[in-house]
Structure 1
Amino acid sequence: MMSRKELAGFLRSRRESLSPEAVGLAGGSRRRTPGLRREEVAQLSGVSVTWYTWLEQARDITVSRQVLESLSRALRLTPAERSHLFALAEAPLPAEPARRMPVNPTLRALVETLDPNPAHVINQSWDLLAYNRAYADLVGGLADLPDEERNSIWLLFTRPGMRTLLVDWQREARAILGQFRAAAGKNPDDPRTTALIDALLAASPAFASMWSAHPIQAFTPATKHFNHPHVGRITLNYTKLVVAEDVTQHLVVFLPATGDDAQGLERLARLDRPVSIQG
Structure 2
Amino acid sequence: MTTVATDRRAQLAEFLKTRRARVTPEQVGLAPGLRRRTPGLRREEVAQLAGVGVTWYTWLEQGRPINASEQVLQAIARTLQLDLAEQAHLLRLAGLRPAVPDSMECATQPQVQSILDALDPLPAAISSARYDILRWNASYETIFPGATLSDTYRRNSLWAAAVVPQCCSAFVNRDEELPRMVAVLRSNYVEHLGEPEWETFIADLIAVSADFATLWAQQDVALHSSRLKVFRHGSVGELRMTATNLQVLGMPTARMVVYTPNDDETRERVSFLQANPGLAVVDHVH
Kindly report the root-mean-square deviation, in angstroms, between the aligned alpha carbons of the 2 structures: 3.2
Distance 1:240 1:6, change over 3 A: same
Corresponding position of 1:234: 239
Distance 1:19 1:96, change over 3 A: same
Instruction: Classify the secondary structure of the residue corresponding to 2:259.
Output: strand
What letter corresponds to residue 151 of structure 1 in structure 2? N
| Candidates 8, 14, 23, aligned match of 2:28 | 23
CA distance in 2, matches of 1:259, 1:270: 16
How do 1:44-193 and structure 2 match up within 5 A? 44-45=49-50, 46-48=52-54, 52=58, 55=61, 61-66=64-69, 68-69=73-74, 71-89=76-94, 91-93=95-97, 100-101=104-105, 102-142=107-147, 144-146=149-151, 149-160=154-165, 165-193=170-198
Unaligned runs of 5+ in 2: 1-5
Matched, 1:195 2:200: yes
CA distance in 1, matches of 2:148, 2:49: 54
Describe the superposition over 1:244-274 as per-residue Cα deviations: whole angstroms up to 9, x where unpaired. Answer: 2232222111112344433332122122534
Cα displacement (A) at 1:18: 1.0
Distance 1:162 1:37, change over 3 A: farther
Looking at both structures, which has the greater relative contact order when contacts are Cα pairs under 8 Å and sequence separation is at least 6?
1
Instruction: Classify the secondary structure of the residue corresponding to 1:249.
Output: strand
Corresponding position of 1:219: 224
CA distance in 2, matches of 1:213, 1:4: 39
TM-score (norm 2): 0.80
Corresponding position of 2:3: none
Describe the superposition over 1:84-136 as per-residue Cα deviations: whole angstroms up to 9, x where unpaired. Answer: 123345x1325579574142111112112222211111223322111122222
Q: Could you tell which deviates more after superposition, 69-78 or 95-104?
A: 95-104
CA distance in 2, matches of 1:189, 1:51: 31
Describe the superposition over 1:149-199 as per-residue Cα deviations: whole angstroms up to 9, x where unpaired. Answer: 111122112222576632321111111111122222321223222332233
Instruction: Classify the secondary structure of the residue corresponding to 2:278.
Output: coil
CA distance in 2, matches of 1:147, 1:166: 18
Distance 1:98 1:111, change over 3 A: closer
Residues 44, 74 of structure 1: 8 Å contact kept: yes
CA distance in 1, matches of 2:56, 2:122: 61
Unaligned runs of 5+ in 1: none
What letter corresponds to residue 97 of structure 2 in structure 1? L
Instruction: Classify the secondary structure of the residue corresponding to 1:185.
Output: helix
Distance 1:23 1:272, change over 3 A: closer
CA distance in 2, matches of 1:170, 1:33: 66
Aligned length: 275
Corresponding position of 1:210: 215
Instruction: Classify the secondary structure of the residue corresponding to 2:191.
Output: coil
Instruction: Classify the secondary structure of the residue corresponding to 1:218.
Output: coil
What letter corresponds to residue 159 of structure 2 in structure 1? W
TM-score (norm 1): 0.81
Distance 1:22 1:60, change over 3 A: closer
Residues 103, 254 of structure 2: 8 Å contact kept: no
Q: Could you tell which deviates more after superposition, 113-122 or 204-213?
A: 204-213
